[in-house]
Structure 1
Amino acid sequence: MRGKLIILLMVGLLFSGFSVLAESKSSMTELDQLADEALQLTRFGRFEEAKKMLERFAQIFSEKGVAERQFTMDELRIVTAAHHEALKSLTSVGLNPNDRIQKVTALRLATDAINSKYQPLWSEMERPIMNAFNDVKSAALEGDENLYNTELNEFLSTYSIIQPSIKISVPVEKVQRLDSRITYIDRYRSTFSEQKWMKELEGLEDELKKLFAEINKDDTDPSIWWVMIMTGGIIISTLSYVSWRKYRGQNMQQQKRKGPND
């Protein structure tokens, strides 16, 4: 009887843990959906409807993040800032539609980055980011300062889409190193010269490649292994207990058959 109680207790603890995890996942799934719907509506130019989605997003994020403390302070700060920019873009008169889409996309990716610790959506931005950067390098090699500035602005705009996300997914020291390179190139662009900037651009290219290589190198969620180990442990414990009871029962039956004089 005691063995059964122990097994039931283990199963109960396991599934209570799953219940808490499921509730957390449920709220994040809802936030993901709201951010995604807001993005789709923005793409179709339905800005007022997208605004309502973001207002609902803010309400849930505040309830789960502040009241229930489901998010870290960094996650709260980063997503709040991304949400503010996205909402402002939808209410700004005369803003370029593409700029609106980029701001809402940044929020969408940041929300996913919290929920997806492995293979987040922002990792799929590798090609557009690297293509935009290669255009900057090509302009620098041509020695065309005007073209260089144009391409650099385009790269910075594209990079801004994933910047909130990488602050969530990537260790702070790596983000700071990458951002410092980008800030330097942007701030001192007026001193453009082909020889000087190629060295800086090559350093930035190396950082960008490392960024995407590291986020894509391991797509196995450790929580999956934890679930497998816990589940396997319970199954093994249960089977061991059942086998022991069966063995004990067979021994008792054999002893009864033999009788006291055998």
Structure 2
Amino acid sequence: MRGKSIILLLLCIFFSGFSVQAESKSSMTELDQLADEALKLTRFGRLEEAKNIMERFAELFSEKGVTERQFTMDELRIVTAAHHDALKALTSSDINTNERVKKVTAFRLASDAIISEYQPLWSQMERPIMNAFADVKNAALEGDENLYNSHLNEFLSTYSVIQPSIKIDIPIGKVQMLDSKIAYIDQYRSTFSEQKWMKELEGLETDLKNLFTDINKDDTDPSIWWVMFMTGGIIVSTLSYVSWRKYRGQKLQQQKRKDLND
């Protein structure tokens, strides 16, 4: 009986945990779908509908993030800021369509970053980011200052789309170092010269490549596998023990019947 009680206790713990996890996953899925729908509506120019979806997202996000504490303070702050910028873009008449879509895309990627465990959507932005930066570098090699400034502005605009997301997925030290290099090139662009900037640009290009390389690596926490192994081991050991007790009891009963018959 004691063995059966242990099994029942373990199963109750396992399935109660599974139920909570399933409910949490359902909420995360709804948040993900709302953010995705808001972006699609924005691309089609259905701004009022996109605004309503964004407001629904804010309600659910506040419920899960603040009330149930499913997100860290940094995640709450970053996604809230991205949501604010996206909502402002949807309601402003002073912003062009391209910039509006970029603001909502930045929000979409940030919301995905807090939900996705592996391969976040922003990692798919590698080609647009690197192509935009290649244009900056090529303009610098040509020594064309006007073209350089134009391409630099485009790169900064494209990079801003993933900036909230990388603050969620990448260690803050690396993000701050990358942002400081970008800010330096932007701030001192008026002193542009091919010889002076090429070393800075090559260093920044390497950092951008590493940004996407690092996020594509398998960063599964080994402790997760250890916990799973231990939990599975406990259940298997308990079942084995109960089976052995049952087998031993049956053998003893058979032996007693044999002794009585003799």
Structure 2 contact 64–70 (Cα < 8 Å) conserved: yes
Match for residue 251 of structure 2? 251
Question: How far did residue 245 of structure 1 move?
Answer: 3.1
What residue in structure 2 maps to residue 120 of structure 1?
120
Q: Which amino acid aligns with 2:214?
A: E
1:66 is aligned with what amino acid? V
Give 1:14's aligned amino acid. F
Q: Deviations over 1:155-190 (max 9, x none)?
A: 111110100000000110010011011110111111
Name the CA distance, whole Å, in 2 between partners of 1:118 and 1:226: 19
Asked if structure 1 preserves the Cα contact closer than 8 Å seen for 2:110 and 2:165, the reply is yes
Give RMSD over aligned pairs.
2.1
The answer to whether residue 170 in structure 2 is matched with residue 170 in structure 1 is yes
CA deviation digits over 1:70-125, x for unaligned, max 9?
21110111001000000000111142111111111111110110011321111111
Find the counterpart in structure 2 of residue 137 from structure 1: 137
The 10-residue stretch of structure 1 (168-177 or 54-63) with the greater mean CA deviation from structure 2: 54-63
Query: Secondary structure of the equivalent of 1:259?
Result: helix
The correspondence of residues 60-75 of structure 1 with structure 2, limited to 5 A, is 60-75=60-75
- Whether the aligned pair in 1 keeps the contact of 2:10 and 2:235 (CA below 8 Å) is no
Identity %: 80
8 Å CA contact 1:38–1:54 kept in 2: the answer is yes
Q: Contact 1:119 / 1:219 at 8 angstroms: preserved in 2?
A: no
Mapping for residues 22-101 of structure 1, pairs under 5 Å:
22-101=22-101
Q: 146-155 vs 217-226, which deviates more?
A: 217-226
Q: TM-score if structure 2 supplies the norm length?
A: 0.93
Report the CA distance between 1:27 and its aligned residue: 1.7
- Identify unmatched segments of 5+ residues in structure 1: none
CA distance in 2, matches of 1:206, 1:20: 43
> Is the Cα–Cα contact under 8 Å of residues 136 and 151 in structure 2 kept in the other structure?
yes
1:210 Cα offset (Å): 1.1
How many Å apart are 1:246 and its aligned residue?
Answer: 3.8
Q: Is the 8 A contact 2:79 2:110 kept in 1?
A: yes
How many residue pairs get aligned? The number is: 262
Which residue of the partner structure matches residue 2 of structure 1? 2
How far apart, CA to CA, are the structure 1 residues paired with 2:226 and 2:41? 38
1:235 to partner: Cα distance: 5.0
Normalising by structure 1, what TM-score? 0.93
1 CA distance for matches of 2:125 and 2:248? 62
C-alpha separation in 1, matches of 2:223 and 2:112: 17
Deviation per residue, 1:125-160 (Å, 9 max, x gap): 111111111111111111111111111111111110
- What is the rounded CA distance, in whole Å, between the counterparts of 2:230 and 2:101 in structure 1? 43
What is the distance in 2 between the residues matched to 1:99 and 1:235? Answer: 55
Find the counterpart in structure 1 of residue 185 from structure 2: 185
Which whole-Å CA distance do the structure 1 matches of 2:49 and 2:133 have between them? Answer: 34
**2:161 partner letter:** I
- Write the letter of the residue equivalent to 1:149: N
* Structure 2 residues without counterparts, runs of 5 or longer: none
Name the CA distance, whole Å, in 1 between partners of 2:238 and 2:127: 50
